[in-house]
Amino acid sequence: MRVDAQRSVGPSRVFPSPLRYHLLVQPGSIVILNGPPRSGKSSIADAICRSFDGTWTNVGVDRVMASTPRDKLPGMGLRPGGERPDLEPFVQQQFVRLYDSVAALSDVGTNVVVDVGHHDSYSRPLGTLTSAARRLSGYPAWLVGVRCPVDVIVARRERDRTETHVARTDDGAIAAAVLRWQVEVHRPGIYDLEVDTSVLAPEECVARIEEVVRAGEPTALRRIAKAGSPS
């Protein structure tokens, strides 16, 4: 598959960056995959890196958590509910650093796919999605909502031997934390595209993402930044 940053955003669109002016390179495209854990984001990100032309770098919550100090875990993977207010300043900083890195990679022409789960259900609003939208203002960055029914997510969690969070209560009900992810991660629900991994394979999701990237410049992050909506 061919995804060319200059062609996909249109030659009339200007993405200002002093570094890009100095290097005389086209900005790398950015695809942000936002959804709850076990929704299939990582599989889509891997498929993008395999099938899109050009150099694509996969960054996101799993890779950030792998380098997070033990005493700060789960870091930016902190689930909705406001249960660790002591970690929230660090989580906010991690999101800022993540998108600074994404912008820097784009500046030198590297395409970036980000798999992440934005929410604002902390002990206080952190506005991580709004902050990301403002940081990436002027960049060719598409926001994709990755959806999956909660029963499918629960089944995936129960099959995963490495899963550390309980998906069901003792009486068989779906855990409140899992349900909160389903709701909070998709606020405010403004996307350039949404995909459902319960009905689409990763390659099918990638094909739809490619269509959207080819169709023209993204609008979701610009709308979120303008509205100043909480994530």
Domain limits at 127? Answer: 5-227
Locus of tokens 């395999």: 50
Helix, strand, coil percent content, the chain, rounded in steps of 5 = 45, 15, 40
Residue 198 · residue 146 · CB < 8 Å: no
Task: Note the pLDDT tens digit of each residue in 44-70.
Answer: 999 999 999 888 999 989 899 999 999
Q: What would the pLDDT profile of 117-141 be if each residue is shown by its tens digit? A: 999 999 999 999 999 999 999 999 9
CATH of the domain at 195: 3.40.50.300
Tell me the whole-structure pTM to 2 decimals.
0.88
The Cα 113–Cα 48 span in angstroms is 8
**pLDDT tens-place string over residues 138-179:** 999 999 999 999 999 999 999 886 666 778 988 889 999 999
Q: Please count the structural domains in the chain.
A: 1
